[in-house]
Each structure stands twice: as C-alpha cells, then as structure tokens.
Structure 1
Amino acid sequence: MNVRSKWLLFSVGLGVLLNPLNSSMIAVAIARLQNVYRLDFTVVSWVIFSFYIASAIAQPVMGKASDLFGRRKIFLTGLVVAFVASLLAPLSSSFGWLIVFRIVQSVGTSMMVAVGMAIVRIHITEKQATALSVMSIFLSGAAAIGPFIGGVLIHWWDWPAIFLVNIPFVAASFQLAWRTIPKDGPPTYALRNMSFRKWLDVIDASGILLFAVGLVALLVGLLSAKSSGHVSFWHVIVGLIGLIVLGAFVRHELKATSPFIPLRTFAKYPAMTWVNVEFMLVNVLFYSLFFGLPSYLQMVRHVSEFHTGILMLSLGLSSLVVSPIAGRWIDKSGPRPALLASGILMVLGSVWIATLNQSSPVISVCLALAAFGISNGLNNVGMQAALFKSSPKEIIGVASGLFNTSRYLGTILSSLLIGIVMGGHFSAGGLRVLGIILTAIALSLVLISRRRRESGQPDES
C-alpha cells in the first residue's frame, strides 16, 4: 500500500469513526440528560433509538446518492452536516431540539459510513483486506472506547462535550479527505438536463419514502413497546402499518426502472443477500452481550461500574487486536476460514454464557468476552470482504449502505431481545436463557454461512 493510499485510508477512517463513536458515547449521558430536561428514562432513551433508526434509513439512502452524485461529494457533505449538528446540539433549548440535532448528526455520519467503505473498495486496489482491517479498527475502536471517552468528557465538562469533541475529528478528516480522495468521475446520469420529475424517478424518491416510512413505523412500534414495558393496541397498529408499507416498498422496487434498493439484483446475487442476513445476526449476538452483560455484572454480580467498564473495554480491545491479524489472514486465504473460526467462537462463547451462575468466577466472564471479541474482529473484516466479493461494482454504494443498515437492525433487535428475556429485572436465570438463545442464533449462522457459500459469488476479487 503506497503513501497516498495510507493517507486516504486515514482520512476516511477519521470520518467513519464518528458514527460508532456517537452511537456509544451517548449511553453514559442518559442519566445527566434526565436531570437536565427533567424526563423519565423511557423518553430520554429515544436519544439512542433515534440515532439507530436514522442511521438504518440514511445509510442505504446515502449509498444510492453516492452512486448518482459521487462518493467524494457525499463524504465531504457528510462532514459538513456532522459539524453543524455537533455545534448546535449543545445549544438545544428543549429535548425535542436535541433529538432533531441528534438525527441530523446521524444522517451526516451515515453519509461517511455509507461511502467510506466504497471509497476504499474503489481507490485502494492492493491488500484490500488489510485496508478493511484498518477501517474495522476505526469502527470497532470508536465503539469500544466510546463509553469511556463519554464518561471522561461528562465528568470534566458535562454532556455538551460529547458533541463538541466531534469538531476536531471533522476538521482533520475534511482537510485530509479534500486532498486525498480522488475527484468523482462524471455522474451516471445527466442530472442537470433532467426535469424535476425525471430526477425524482432517477433517485427513486417514492422508494426512499416508502422505505423510510415503513422502517420508522415498524421500529417505532417495536421500540415503543419495549420502552413502555407492555404491548398496547397502538403499538400493534403502528407496527402493522410499518409492515404494510414495507410490503408496498418491495412491490414498488420490483417494478421501478431505477430502484433505490435493486431487489432483482439481490435475487441475481443471492450470496449478497445472505451476507446481509448473516451480518445482522452477528450483530444481534455481539450487542446482546455488549448491552446485556454490564447490567448483569452490576445488578446480579454486584461488580462496580469501574470494573465493569474495564471488563467491557477488554471486549473491544480484543476485537481491535484481532482485526489487523484477520486482515492479513483474509488477504492470504479469503474470508471463509476466518468466518468459520468466528462461528465456532460465537457458539462456544454463547454456550459459556448459558453456563454462568452467581458463583462462577469472574474469569469465566472474561473467557466469554474474549471469545466474542475475537469473533467480532474476524467478522468485521471477513463479512466486509464477503460483501465485496458478492456485490457487483455498479451498486457497491447501495450494498455498503445496506450492509451497515443490517448492523443497526441487529443492534436494535439485540436491545429488544434483552428486554423480552430479562424484562425489568436482570437475573442469573435470565442470562442463562439469553445464552441459550444466542447459542441457537450462533448455530444458525453456521448454517447460513454454508448456504451463502453454496449460492455462489460473482468473480470480482
């Protein structure tokens, strides 16, 4: 990898890390926001959910936009949007405005994540798996140390600091990206000569609207039920509306001449579809542990917050250590061996969780964390490499956006799973049930991986 490629990778990484960093830092600010705005947890938790929902929608939308308007333009625009949101969020006069700026921040950071991997795919042609491992370090590292950074910032400078800390990252990324990311080629369509109606058809505005409304309605129904602790008639109606609209979206996309999500292409390349399903389930596994184990340690095992944080930091650090090793391994052997090893580790880690009880030594928890951390490092690189091999180049922007949407859907589903299994009270028995469910999911991943290999991949290595 030459010097220019390394600087390109660094500039993209600085922008890409903003999304996972901001999705994890906010968790430690919830109690402070409750006091500032005098709201209960159910309402304040939407500062987290809104970010995930907006990211799940924005990333495939921005992937589509990058295929039309150019990846460099979208990346730089995302930096500007993130800068504005980070500057204005601390000035929010009400919680509603904070949610608005939080959504804007999510859209801006999603613009960078959606096209960052595509930029690496197109402009770094040597040792791509190694480059992906570096990107994985930015993504996983930011998510791993986010709670720690957020805690330090809030302790010394209060909650606005978790927004203002983005500004130096944005400035550095913009300066480097402006110099290192090659200029975009001519657009796919002569947009300037189009009528407004034709332009809407090209970007598939109807498809984007149906996708956004359907996903928001479905997730609002699910998350509202989870937040309130019971399922009401209103939750069911909203969720059903979401499913109906998403059904209309699928029907629309199959007929559209320029679909926002090319479902026919997914049918043509089934391996690409299986990669996204597999990645979603991988994140259900990882974030069920990431969100569930800290509460178990504190409420059931009575481990202090400091020591719980140290234990959870080890999960992220083990993932970081493994990522560059995974990159070199996948460069030599392809993604299959690494993903097989990851699957085995996830099964073992899930079984280990299911065997824990209140008298189990803390080292047992560390072993489970290590298994999941190593598997996460292998998955972050291996699944991205599998996506690149299974996706045609002409839709790599959309494919990358959907890939990250799968990540957020898995994260949201993990939160719902913990709520269903644990309810309002964490217990050793609940953790065992969670471990059994995670074991079943891990075993299903092995079967899905086999199905993906049997479905074949386009020869685009």
Structure 2
Amino acid sequence: MPEPSRQKDSHAEDLPPLTKSATRPPELPGKFVTPIAFGTILQPLNSSMIAVALVGIRSHFDAGNSVTWLVSALYLATAVAAPAMGRIADVFGARRTSLTGLVLVGAVSAAAPFAPNVATLVVCRILIGIGTAAQYPCGVAMIRRAADESRARPNNALGALAAWSQVTAALGPTFGGLLVGGFGWAGVFWINVPLALIGAAVIMKWGPADPPTRIPSGGRLTALMRVDPVGMLLFAVAITAFMFWLLSLAATPAWWWLAIAVPATALTVWWSIRTHDPFLDMRLLARRALSFTYVRTVVTYTAFYCVFYGLPQWLEETRGLGPTGAGLVVLPIAAVGVLSTLLATLLQRNHGPRVALIAGTAALCVGGLLLTLPTADSPILLLVGIAAMLGLPNGFNNIGNQRAMYVVAPADQMGAASGLYRASQYVGANLAAAVLALLIGDHANDLGLHRMGLAVASIAAALLITSLFGLLRGHLSSRTAQAR
C-alpha cells in the first residue's frame, strides 16, 4: 500500500484517503512507544509546573513582575526551537538529537537553582525550552522510522504522545506544588534531572536506531551547514518578533514588532527559495493539506487556550473559588481529555483523521455555547459538567490534527514537519492571550466569560464547516475515482 504522504494534494481541506486492507498491519510495539512518549512529557510538565513556583522565585530574588518571563521564555523558545530541532533531527538522526536535548535539559536544570538573578534563570528556561522542544519532533520522527521499518501502524504511538502530553500538562501544577512544598522553588528544576536521565536511558535501550550518518567530505562542519543556520536564524527572528507582537496585544500593541516580523518572514521565504537544502522548505509548505493542517492547529489551539486560561480566571475572580477550588473544577477537562484521546485513537483507526476532527470541533462548539450559561451563582455541579464537556474535544482535535500532519508530511522531513506543528500550537496560545485581553480584559466577569464562550463556539463552527466540506470532497473524489 503506498504511503499517503506521497499522494498529491488536491485541495486545502483534503487529506489523503485511507484505504482498507484485508490484512491490517499491526500496531507499533509498545517497546518503542513508551521510551519515545516518555521524553515528550518534559515540555508540558515544565510549562505548567512553573506556575506554582513563581511566588517563591519572586520572593527569593525580590524580582517583581519580571518573573512572568520565566513562563513566556519557555513558550518562545519552544516555538522557535521545535522546527529547528526537527530539522536537525532530519539531518543528524532523531535518536541522537533527542538524547542531546535530554542532556541539555538535565545539565541546565541541575545548575538553574544556583542562578544569581532572575535574568540568568530566564536564560536557563530558554535552554530548557530548547532541550524539551527537541523531544516531540524527534519522537514523531522515531515513530515514523520504526513504523516504516516494521510495517506497523502508528496510531497507538501517536495516541500515547497526545495522552501523555495532556496528563502531564494537567498534573503539572499539582506535581509542582508538591515539589515546591518539599524542596522550594528549586524542586521544579531539579526534578528534570532524574526525568532526563530516565528518558535518555530508555531511549538508548529501546528507541529505534538512527540510520547511518553520512558525513560529507568537508567533515562535520559541512554536515552542520546542511541544517541551514542562516534560514534557521531568519525564521527565529520572524517568529520571535511575531510572538512578541502577539504578547503585546494583551496590553498596548507594539506594532514595531510586526514591522520586524513581516520583512523577516519575507527574507525567510526568499532564502528558502534560493537555497538548495533550506531549513524551511517552501515545497513542504506548498503541500496545501499540510499548510492547512498548521492553520487549523493554530485556530484550534487558540480556542483551547482561551478555555485553559479564561475559565480558571473567571472561577477565581467572579465565582470566588480561589486557586485550589478553580483547579479542582477544571480538572475534568484534563481527565475527559485523556479519555477522548483514547476514543479518538480507536475512531481514526477505521475512519481516518477527518472523522475525529469533526467530532472534536462539534464538541468544542457545544462546549463554547455552554460557557454562555454560568453566572456568579451557578452551582458547582453545573461548572464541573461544563468542564467535562470542554475536555471532550481536546483528544479528538489533538489526535486528528496530529494524524493529519503525519499522513501528509514526507517521511524524510518528519522532524521539521512535526516541529512546525508544535510551533503552531504555541502561536495559538499567544493568539488566545490577545483574544482574552479583548473579550475579558482585566477582570473576568460573567459578560467576559459569555463573550469568550461565543468566540470559542464561533471558531469551532468555522472549523466544523471546513472539516465537513473536506469529508464531502473526499467522498466525491472517491466516487469519481471508482466510476473511472
């Protein structure tokens, strides 16, 4: 059966058709899935644990609001580094790149608690972000290699990446609270050391081996140039300026960041076209199904992070539950999200990613509409029920988008394609911050929550229409092919 990624895209919403075979190939063995998935927990864990350590860090350094850069720095570093590390993985091997990232995370995390000031700690968070950013694109690339070599299906492996990510992101604040209680704020850094060591050990033992690295006649320096450092730098400037502009929308828009982002993006495109082996291959983005998947991922995660950040804010400020109560009310979002990930994995085995995306966007539309109901006097059971409903779309959308990216991306560029997919998620996170600033403002009252709910429902409705249209086109294309 031909690889779906080699089929020609016919429309932006189209995904390669999934044909059924009499003898269905087996799923990827668990001995590959566990070590690959384990490394990917570091990024969501570090992004969520820091929330409970900020007060201690602020007090220790007498730092004021500058500690918020510890949160933004990791997101910015991950958005920039994920595509870059994916490209490096395509050139030097996913297993080697993953191990290098884990070593970086372990070493920096061991030293971070001894930082003399917040600025140094921010640099440490940037380096941790680079190391953790390598794990997802390297993980998907290793899954692709192991699946191709063993002629196995990657559904369970991709499902594991999604499920582990949701569990660790949701449990991060709780886990971080225990660490801060036992070891102070340094605990959220030191925990990375044993986790990185365990991750490296299991990948070395069970991770699929990289293909032999062909060192050109010019040596390793020439091989490093294949990564296209110029293109990587231009992309880093473009996306960093764009992310800073998005972050500024929450207060006073800094339009000069956009004045940097636009020409930097143009230079990135120009360099990619004229370079023989570019970091950001325009031919990759010219695959309309892949580009559309990135756009859909940005929009989906804008809605997701609106809920992720906006609902707890309303629960604390208007419903008066406090941080602990708000955390318990939104816990069903994570719990149901894990369950929906398992259901989506089963669903797409027989019906492909489109059906999972339709189910996810439909549930997100319903969840957004439900957010227009609560008031300051709403009972807790109603709020818990709405939170559970909001957890349902997460697994379906995550699995659907992830699988859609997997089937249309070329196997030899899976690292770079996966890195861009990860970057798309964090662009959505920053867009959500801007949306919340416009809809909720400084205080999350009932009106702000209801506006947010309508915005989420509208986004989901637009995504649902495009998914249904793509499904219809797919059926029409299949009938036309059968008629011929």
| TM-score (norm: length of structure 1) | 0.92
Unmatched segments (≥5 aa) in structure 1: none
For the pair 1:136 / 2:155, whether they are aligned, the reply is: no
The one-letter code matched in structure 2 to 1:25 is M
| TM-score (norm: length of structure 2) | 0.87
Residue 32 of structure 1 is matched in structure 2 by 56
Question: How many Å apart are 1:297 and its aligned residue?
Answer: 0.4
8 A Cα contact 1:148 1:309, kept in partner: no
Distance 1:256 1:354, change over 3 A: farther
For the pair 1:55 / 2:55, whether they are aligned, the reply is: no
Question: How many Å apart are 1:162 and its aligned residue?
Answer: 0.6
Unmatched segments (≥5 aa) in structure 2: 1-24, 479-484
Residue 283 of structure 2 is matched in structure 1 by 264
Question: How many Å apart are 1:347 and its aligned residue?
Answer: 0.4
Distance 1:363 1:251, change over 3 A: farther
Distance 1:85 1:327, change over 3 A: same
Residue 12 of structure 1 is matched in structure 2 by 36
Give distance in 1, aligned partners of 2:375 and 2:435.
20
Residue 230 of structure 1 is matched in structure 2 by 252
Question: How many Å apart are 1:203 and its aligned residue?
Answer: 1.8
The one-letter code matched in structure 2 to 1:182 is P
Q: Alignment identity in percent?
A: 28
Kindly report which structure 2 residues correspond to 1:20-169, keeping only aligned pairs within 5 A, or say none: 20-41=44-65, 43-124=66-147, 125-169=151-195
Question: How many Å apart are 1:115 and its aligned residue?
Answer: 0.7
8 A Cα contact 1:22 1:146, kept in partner: yes
Aligned residues: 449
For the pair 1:193 / 2:218, whether they are aligned, the reply is: yes
Give distance in 2, aligned partners of 1:129 and 1:302.
42
| The 10-residue stretch of structure 1 (116-125 or 361-370) with the greater mean CA deviation from structure 2 | 361-370
Question: How many Å apart are 1:194 and its aligned residue?
Answer: 5.4
Question: How many Å apart are 1:139 and its aligned residue?
Answer: 0.9
Give distance in 1, aligned partners of 2:123 and 2:339.
36
8 A Cα contact 1:218 1:240, kept in partner: no
The one-letter code matched in structure 1 to 2:70 is V
Distance 1:29 1:153, change over 3 A: same
Root-mean-square deviation over aligned CA pairs: 2.3
For the pair 1:346 / 2:364, whether they are aligned, the reply is: yes
Question: How many Å apart are 1:3 and its aligned residue?
Answer: 11
Q: Runs of 4+ in structure 1 displaced over 4 angstroms?
A: 1-4, 198-201, 450-457
Distance 1:183 1:98, change over 3 A: same
Residue 205 of structure 1 is matched in structure 2 by 229
Residue 402 of structure 1 is matched in structure 2 by 420
Match of 1:435 among 453, 458, 461: 453
Distance 1:105 1:359, change over 3 A: same
For the pair 1:183 / 2:209, whether they are aligned, the reply is: yes
Q: Secondary structure at the match of 1:355?
A: coil
Question: How many Å apart are 1:121 and its aligned residue?
Answer: 2.2
Residue 253 of structure 1 is matched in structure 2 by 272
8 A Cα contact 1:352 1:435, kept in partner: yes
| The 10-residue stretch of structure 1 (357-366 or 388-397) with the greater mean CA deviation from structure 2 | 357-366
The one-letter code matched in structure 2 to 1:208 is M
Q: Secondary structure at the match of 1:203?
A: coil
Give distance in 2, aligned partners of 1:319 and 1:286.
12
Q: Which has the higher helix share?
A: 1
